[in-house]
Amino acid sequence: MNNEKKKNSKTKVKNKRTTPLINLCIFTLPGCNVTEKEIKQQVDLATKIWKIQFVITSITMLKDFSVRTNDTSFRTKQSKNIKRLFNERKYLFPNPNSISIFYTSARHLSNNTTGRSFSSLMTKSRFNHIILTKSSLENTLAHELGHILFYSHRKLQGKNPDANSYRTHSLDSKNIMFGTATTRKWKTTSLQRTKALESTLIKYM
Ligand SMILES: [Zn+2]
């Protein structure tokens, strides 16, 4: 009886130590109207979807920053506002190991997108950023994190690994990497989860 108990607790410790995790450095901008509870719900959902522990290391309010609705920033072509935002992150938290998440008051970004990822491969820096908007859904963060995971994979370069894909997106409307924003996407395939774990951003507890 005693022995078995010991064995169990040992297994638990081992499991805990091998939990894959990624740190998130959160920023809220004026007018974003997101509550801490909502942020935590989105992070928990992403954790459930990817089976990777996403950990909030900080939530920082940025008072004098904004992102405009229809901001056309893309890859290395970023607007002044977004460049300022990325520089501020670098200044406040110089360690690039966590992904920056910016909650903004923009209604959407160009092409009506609800969120956008800027991987280090795109920005040619060591940092990975995600910009969310007022039209972001609860699962938008999980979707954008998926992009960052696949961009930080040495071979995928952002591509969704499934056969049923078009470039970075899944063609399965229930898959989290489906290209259109919908509340019904939440699935990941085991291939996606395996590749996600190969991301260079993954750490172990
Ligand atoms: Zn996408």
Residue type at position 84: R
Measured in Å, residue 55 CA sits from the centre of ligand 1 at 22
Cα 186 to ligand 1 centroid, rounded to whole Å: 13
Rounded mean pLDDT, 74-97: 95
Q: Any idea what the Cα angle at residue 138 is, between residues 135 and 140, rounded to 5°?
A: 70
Q: Name which residue leads in pLDDT, 75 or 21.
A: 21
Taking 50 as the threshold, does the pLDDT of residue 7 lie above it?
Answer: no
| 5 pLDDT more than 90 | no
pLDDT at residue 15 tops 80: no
Where are the chain's structural domains? 19-146+200-204
Please name which of 129, 52, 148, 51 lies closest in space to residue 86, comparing C-alpha atoms. 129
User: Which pLDDT tens digit goes with each residue over 136-184?
Assistant: 999 999 999 999 999 999 999 999 999 999 999 999 999 999 999 999 9
pLDDT at 129: 98
Q: Ligand 1 centre from 27 Cα, in Å?
A: 21
Q: Which CATH number fits domain 19-146+200-204: 3.40.390.10, 3.30.450.20, 3.40.430.10, 1.20.1250.20?
A: 3.40.390.10
pLDDT band at 4 (very low <50, low <70, confident <90, very high): very low
